[in-house]
Amino acid sequence: MGNASDERAAAVGKAVSILLNGRDSVQDFRREVLRNNLVAPGNFITWRQKRDSAIRDRLNDVATGIVKSYPAYEELDVEKFIVTGELAPMQAIKPVPEFSEIVPGASRITLIIDPRCSAKEVSAAYAETKKLFFSRYPGPKRDRAIDPKYLALAEFAVLNRYDKKTTTWEDLYTKWDQEVCGAHPDWTYGQKANARTNFPRDVRRAIKSVAGIELDELWAQIDRTERGQA
């Protein structure tokens, strides 16, 4: 982010802090619960954990009402402000990466943006967050166009699994040829001498490209889900 956005966010944050200090619900909580003795910022979490549910609920109610008016803040940040007087710095662009450990391809990045930020600032913030995100992500690092055949193979692999005891790779590519390749005769494997090696290879590549996970791990996740262990 550029300095202009950072400075603007800091100035807005100071103004919000002044406004919130004068808010009736904040003053009432501080007077009736804290006896006007603010808690040291470093002790907030411990203080909150030791309060009974009625006080925590009241604190949350006050914070929720404030967040509706000031969506740049989260409820926990506002709760801390009410109790300690310290308001978390307002961010012009706040990245919220959500990483899926089970299927990395289902991961997402959300940016909470001050609408006055420039497109250049947003792009820079996204690039920085994406770089950190991909340090954990095992799949492809760029979103390239995926061959329609690979998309079909990935879907097929989710619904049809190899099991050396009951289902062979030959069974699978035969089923693939019969059920999927009617409209795509060039996708068939059964008539090729190297089908037994090419089909599992292509399925593994398809799953890694589409879902960002190894095929065996995906099948293991599906098995655990079906057994109610996920």
Domain ranges of the chain: 3-84, 93-134, 148-226
> What is the model's pLDDT at position 141?
60
Which among 84, 87, 89, 34 is positioned nearest to 58, based on CA atoms? 34
Among 18-22, 32-36, 108-112, 213-217, which stretch is predicted with the lowest mean pLDDT? 213-217
> What is the model's pLDDT at position 113?
93
Which among 209, 207, 200 is positioned nearest to 222, based on CA atoms? 207
> What is the model's pLDDT at position 45?
97
> What is the model's pLDDT at position 164?
62
Q: Give the Cα separation of 153 and 160 in Å (integer).
A: 10
> What is the model's pLDDT at position 32?
98
Which among 16, 17, 1 is positioned nearest to 111, based on CA atoms? 1
pLDDT band of residue 1 (cuts 50, 70, 90) is: very low
- Over residues 14-30, the mean pLDDT reads 95
Choose between 216 and 70: higher pLDDT.
70
Give tens-digit pLDDT for 45-98.
Answer: 999 999 999 999 999 999 999 999 999 999 999 999 999 999 999 889 999 888
- Over residues 17-34, the mean pLDDT reads 96
pLDDT band of residue 157 (cuts 50, 70, 90) is: confident
Which among 145, 172, 151 is positioned nearest to 160, based on CA atoms? 172
Residue 187 CA, chain-centre distance (Å), reads: 35
Side chain identity, residue 134: F
Mean pLDDT over the full length of the chain? 87
pLDDT band of residue 16 (cuts 50, 70, 90) is: very high
Q: What percent of the chain has pLDDT over 90?
A: 52
Contact 190, 116 (CB under 8 A): no
> What is the model's pLDDT at position 143?
62
- Over residues 21-43, the mean pLDDT reads 97
Q: Give the Cα separation of 31 and 27 in Å (integer).
A: 6
Concatenated DSSP letters of the chain: --HHHHHHHHHHHHHHHHHHHT-HHHHHHHHHTSTT-PPPGGGHHHHHHHS-HHHHHHHHHHHHHHHHH-TTS-HHHHHHHHHHSPPPPPPSEEEEEE--SS-GGG-EEEEEE-TTS-HHHHHHHHHHHHHHHHTT--S-SS-PPPPHHHHHHHHHHHHS--BTTTB-HHHHHHHHHHHTTTS-GGG--TTSTTHHHHHHHHHHHHHHHHHSS-HHHHHHHHHHHHTT--
Contact 16, 87 (CB under 8 A): yes
CB atoms near residue 217 (< 10 Å): 14
Give tens-digit pLDDT for 97-147.
Answer: 888 877 777 889 999 999 989 999 999 999 998 888 877 765 556 666 788
β partners of residue 109? 97
Could you give the dihedral angle defined by the CA atoms of residues 213, 214, 218 and 221, in that order, rounded to the nearest 10 degrees? -90
